[in-house]
Amino acid sequence: MLYGAQRGFASMTTNTGHNGTNGDSTWALHQPEKKIDWAYRAMHGSVVIAKQVVSAFYSKKSFTSFYAGCSTGGYQGLKEVQMFPEDFDGVLVSAPAWWHSHLQTWSIKVGLYNLPVNSSHHIPASLFPTIGAEVLRQCDPSDGLVDGIISDPRRCDVNLEALLCTPSANKSACLTSPQISTLYKIYTDWYEADQTFVYNHLELGSESQWSLINTTSGTPDSFSIGYVQNWDFNYSIVQTAERLNLAMHDASNYNISAFRARGGKLLHYHGYADGFIPTGCSVYYYKHVQRALAPMGIELDDWYRLFLIPGMNHCSKSAVNAPWYIAGPNQAGGLVRGTGIRSVPGFEDAEHDMLMALVRWVEQKQAPDQIIGTKYKNDTVSEGVLRQRPICNYPNRAVYNGSGDVDDARSWKCVKGLQ
């Protein structure tokens, strides 16, 4: 709520119909009405009431309204766009957990890849930095500049066998053949029988946030297990999840033309190094919206834009000093002493601040082709800026001009697609 209020917005938030703590989903067990509240009803009802309060307080019948949220908050934003397109004029979503029936089961699946702990294929967490360093060594140059950042992991043809143990290798910093097989599973999309796609893979460069793979406890991610148990799942993976009406808890309606028809604008971004929700899941959603609307003659670029942020983890921060800060939802908490920080200190404008870019798009009809990401030294504003770089409208990507300071955004440009 502070995110909007400190910028001068009349703001609202909701507990989505229940009281609970982070990671605890026991409130949902045998509680169908609470699950409906969580899925959409509490958010929409709160928005309706909040608009009535604001209208009465300011004696104003009409005003523009905006939404911003990351992860589950991103899911809620997409759910609003799909079910209640009249609620918001502009919606900003980051790393949305929009496909819960697949995400939570995948979170267990990817953990099971690395179990049991005493198996030959288990990769201990102590080797994650070794894997990340080798991936960075191979993939960093793929964008034409060695700067410690993987700009686009999908352009990297990685050779995971370079991590294999040899007679002369340090056995604490190499992998066996069975462990390499586990690594391939982690970096590969999940398919079931008859090549049925289930969920996306973790990207190269996400290794610093592999808590889902860290199965030292002997079990997969506890939150996902709790989700499966407390939401009345039987463990037959996705089929059971979908059969038990979990589609209500997915934001998987790709026909969002009603939102576009009333003039709504949707900004969507995701970090390439996200270790909790694979980046590809956002690309999957974007492309399926394209598939749904192109036959209707509807192009996306004038109302829906996606931005992929190199090196950024889930919602915020970066393990490789990539420019990640764009003043998005949940991001100020990633800065040292970030509570109370408004916008992008030193750069409070629509070129650097994603929410301001959305407001300008809605109110001035100026769409953002890029947003400049900022990395403060040690993620501390008072220490100054380490580097800045443009983050481009998908499928475009940023490339170095070939001259000038690589840490200056002016030395970079956005180019089309895979050029």
- Residue 222: partners with Cβ closer than 8 Å, 6 or more residues away: 23
Q: Is 189 a catalytic residue?
A: no
Residues in the chain: 419
Single out the catalytic residue among 25, 37, 65, 71. 71
DSSP annotation of 192: E
Query: SS3 for 391?
Result: strand
Q: How far apart are CA 102 and CA 254, in angstroms?
A: 16
Single out the catalytic residue among 89, 274, 353, 379. 274
Q: At what angle do helices 72-83 and 42-58 cross, to 10 degrees?
A: 80
Q: How far apart are CA 312 and CA 141, in angstroms?
A: 18
Single out the catalytic residue among 121, 122, 314, 352. 314
Place of tokens 């300011």: 58
Query: SS3 for 404?
Result: coil
H or E element in which residue 330 lies: none
Strand partners for 414: 398
Cβ(137)–Cβ(159) below 8 Å? no
Query: SS3 for 301?
Result: coil
Strand partners for 190: 199
136-145, long-range: CB < 8 A, 24+ apart: 136/205, 136/320, 138/162, 139/204, 139/205, 143/397, 143/399, 143/400, 144/399, 144/400, 145/400, 145/406
Backbone angles phi, psi at 93, to 5 degrees: -125, 140
Place of tokens 């069975």: 178
Q: Is 314 a catalytic residue?
A: yes
Cβ(13)–Cβ(47) below 8 Å? no
H or E element in which residue 372 lies: strand 370-376
Which residues are catalytically annotated?
Answer: 71, 274, 314
